[in-house]
């Protein structure tokens, strides 16, 4: 009988159904930690952008108020000029979904006078050419109706800016709310119930919680 030659293999025996192992426990921990870090960086970048919008808006508002007052009283000496309107408070809110934000600014026209409210809306990732509106209303009351404050249209980059200046509403009233909505079909994109300046504001998606 012929002898069969021995087959020598230096590698591990192949077994069907066995796959190479995935990342171990420490590997998954590293992956999750990196994902959390990237998410935190994205949130931080968006908050920084929102704060930059708010700060630039307030600076521009102060400059516009000063220019308007100087144009109104050009002949008065600086010592005799009345006090310029002052920004007495501001707050920024991110609406549900993260694409739209609201900035509220309280402006005192004169010393001792009740402040007026400016509401500014910034939006991103909108469809170019799409129109958006800002609605204002009051909680409670039998015959209270909401009213449109201002609107804006998305530019070719999908950015939207809505400005509602000199509103005769108290920035610290708890029964005031503002809502951003899509003009075409009225779909709400979120809003803020007062006080718009100070603690206690409530962010909502479609209906004010009052």
Give residue-wise pLDDT tens across range 161-198: 999 999 988 999 999 999 999 999 999 999 999 999 98
Q: Is there a domain that residue 209 lies in?
A: no
The count of other CB atoms within 10 Å of the CB of residue 165 is 15
User: What Rg, from alpha-carbon coordinates, does the chain have?
Assistant: 29
- What would the pLDDT profile of 42-61 be if each residue is shown by its tens digit? 434 444 455 555 555 555 55
Count of beta carbons in the 10 Å neighbourhood of residue 174: 16
pLDDT recorded at residue 28: 45
In a domain, 4, yes or no: no
The burial of 123, by beta-carbon neighbours within 10 Å (0-12 exposed, 13-18 middle, 19 or more buried), is given as buried
Counting Cα atoms < 13 Å in the Cβ hemisphere of 162 gives: 30
Read off the pLDDT of residues 19-35 as tens digits, 9 standing for 90 and up.
Answer: 445 555 555 454 444 44
Within-domain flag for 14: no
Nearest to 126 by CA among 61, 79, 208, 181: 181
Is residue 8 situated within a structural domain? no
Count of the separate structural domains present in the chain:
1
Q: Specify if 15 maps to a domain.
A: no
Residue 7 domain-assigned?
Answer: no
Domain of 142, in residue numbers: 25-73+81-204
User: Do residues 131 and 183 touch, judged by C-beta distance below 8 A?
Assistant: yes
Q: Tell me if 162 is assigned to some domain.
A: yes
**2 part of a folded domain:** no
Q: Tell me the sheet residues that pair with 117.
A: 106, 167
- pLDDT range class, residue 130, cuts 50, 70, 90: very high
pLDDT of residue 41: 40
Can you say how many angstroms the Cα of residue 24 is from the centroid of all Cα atoms in its chain? 39
CB of 193 closer than 8 Å to CB of 202 = yes
Better-predicted residue by pLDDT, 114 or 109: 114
């Amino acid at each position: 009988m012929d002898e069969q030659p021995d087959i020598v293999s230096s590698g591990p025996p192949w077994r069907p159904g066995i796959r190479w192992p995935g990342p171990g426990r420490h590997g998954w921990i590293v992956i999750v930690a990196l994902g959390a870090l990237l998410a935190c960086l994205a949130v931080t970048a968006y908050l920084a952008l929102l704060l930059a919008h708010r700060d630039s808006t307030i600076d521009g508002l102060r400059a516009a108020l000063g220019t308007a007052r100087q144009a109104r009283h050009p002949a008065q000496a600086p010592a005799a000029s009345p006090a310029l309107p002052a920004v007495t408070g501001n707050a920024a809110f991110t609406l549900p979904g993260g694409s739209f934000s609201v900035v509220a600014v309280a402006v005192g026209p004169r010393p001792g006078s009740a402040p007026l409210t400016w509401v500014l809306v910034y939006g991103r990732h909108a469809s170019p050419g799409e129109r958006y509106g800002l609605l204002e209303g009051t909680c409670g009351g039998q015959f209270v109706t909401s009213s449109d404050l201002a609107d804006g249209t998305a530019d070719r980059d999908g950015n939207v800016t809505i400005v509602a200046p000199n509103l005769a509403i108290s920035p610290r009233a708890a029964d005031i709310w503002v809502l951003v909505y899509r003009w075409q079909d009225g779909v709400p994109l979120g809003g803020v119930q007062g006080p718009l300046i100070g603690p206690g504001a409530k962010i909502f998606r479609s209906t004010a919680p009052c």
